[in-house]
Structure 1
Amino acid sequence: MASLIVAVVASMAAGFIVWGADRRRSRYGIFLLPGLALAAGLLLWVVLQLAGAGSDPDLHWLVWALPPAAAAVAAVTGALIIGPAREARDTADLERVLRL
């Protein structure tokens, strides 16, 4: 149970850190990147538990270390994909409105 709590807190923290470092963060909500990070971290935690890594003493550290790492990767990937697309769409909408 402690590994689940650590996975949740570390995944959310990684998502908020990536959100705070993103210069396009004003283009989307505050919970988008932490939500993506949380989903990725918890999905990996469940997969590792089902694979038996949580009960194996030699592999138990994977349950603690991999979910936050996967959460950070998912948040960075989300920021790199969603940020520019949203910025381009917002700029196009703004130009369309200003031409009226």
Structure 2
Amino acid sequence: METVWSLVIDVIVTGGIGFALWAADRRHGKYGIMLPVALGVVIACLAWIVLVAGGTGYLTGLTWMPWVIPMALGIVVSFAVTKLVERRREKRDVADLTRVLRG
């Protein structure tokens, strides 16, 4: 049961940082508010499942892994994918606007 709390904390922290990431990005209009949040939470949950299934949550000296690694992975993936989506969306919007203006 103690290990399940690490999942709860991972989800809360990763989701909160996803919202903060969206709010801090001045070009957040290029993607939805739930993209960084959902990505972070899904990646954190999958990483937690893999780590706990691997037994790291119950081994002495490795109990920190289901707490820290899922949060770090969720944050990094959330940041990277939102920047990738932002760039692609911006290029596509400029191309569409150019096409419309040319007529």
Q: Deviations over 1:18-75 (max 9, x none)?
A: 2222232101111111111111111110111011011113111111111111111001
Query: C-alpha distance in 1, partners of 2:41/2:100?
Result: 36
1:8 aligns with 2:4: no
1:17 aligns with 2:45: no
**2:96 alignment partner AA:** D
Question: What secondary structure, in the 3-state scheme, does the structure 2 residue paired with 1:72 have?
Answer: helix
Q: TM-score, normalised by structure 2?
A: 0.87
Structure 2 match to 1:71: 74
**2:39 alignment partner AA:** L
Structure 2 match to 1:87: 90
Query: C-alpha distance in 1, partners of 2:19/2:56?
Result: 27
**1:8 alignment partner AA:** V
Gaps of 5+ in 2: none
| 1:12 shift after superposition | 0.8
Structure 1 match to 2:42: 39
| 1:96 shift after superposition | 2.1
Aligned residues: 100
In angstroms, what is the RMSD of aligned CA positions? Answer: 1.3
**1:2 alignment partner AA:** W
Q: TM-score, normalised by structure 1?
A: 0.89
Query: Does the 8 A contact of 2:15 with 2:38 survive in 1?
Result: yes
**1:65 alignment partner AA:** V
